[in-house]
Amino acid sequence: MSMQRTEHVELGEIKASSDRTLIFVLPNIGTGIAVAIYDVQNKVGAVAHVVLPESSLAGPGNDLLPAKYANLAVPTLLKAFSEAGGNKQSSVVRMVGGAQLFNFGGGGGNILNIGARNATAIRAAMSKQGLAIEKADTGGNKGKAVRFVLATGQLVICPIGGNEYSI
């Protein structure tokens, strides 16, 4: 086994690769979501670091990063995935994040619940593409670091101040 390399995936970024020595690292997922697709046959992976549910939330003249908005991120992610050699038929989709980090004025009526809205938007966009989220680790009130290991397809999750586990 050759040396493993890590590559950071920033907010609003999408990365895809068939390089099995690669580990994609998302150091801090809060209300945003890491959505990962992995082709178990061909060992190809792609990940998007989604920030907001809807591109309609962009102000005029805002730069549209490919993965910033869930509704745009999912088709862009799948395109990058197939360009890297991934096949939807033999793939699994997972997502991590969507924490509720701020609670303005308590109560359940938080209109700004971006985390949950992100998760819902990603599920809807995936289902439009004929894909289901197989495993999800969303919600809670803690940020997480995520490593996506392309050799195995594992998502290794390390909650801030907690023990790591994988899905």
Residue-wise DSSP of 103-148:
-TTSSS--TT-HHHHHHHHHHHHHHHTT----EEEE-SS--EEEEE
- Return the axis-axis angle of helices 114-128 and 70-83, rounded to nearest 10°: 50
Distance CA 72, CA 165 (A): 29
- pLDDT for 101 equals 74
Parallel, antiparallel or unpaired: strands 14-17 and 44-50: antiparallel
- pLDDT for 2 equals 60
pLDDT for 99-116, tens place per residue?
987 655 554 545 578 899
- pLDDT for 65 equals 79
Name the 3-class secondary structure at 1: coil
Is the CATH number of domain 5-166 3.30.1330.200? yes
By CB atoms closer than 10 A (0-12, 13-18, 19+), residue 116 is middle
Instruction: Scan for tokens 């890590």, then name that residue.
Output: 6
Smallest Cα–Cα separation from 153: which of 38, 20, 2, 31? 38
Instruction: Scan for tokens 């745009």, then name that residue.
Output: 72
- pLDDT for 109 equals 47
Q: What tokens does 167 get? A: 């899905």
Residues of the chain with pLDDT under 70: 1-2, 57-64, 102-111
- pLDDT for 113 equals 85
β-bridge partners, 75: none
Distance CA 41, CA 86 (A): 9
Backbone angles phi, psi at 78, to 5 degrees: -65, -35
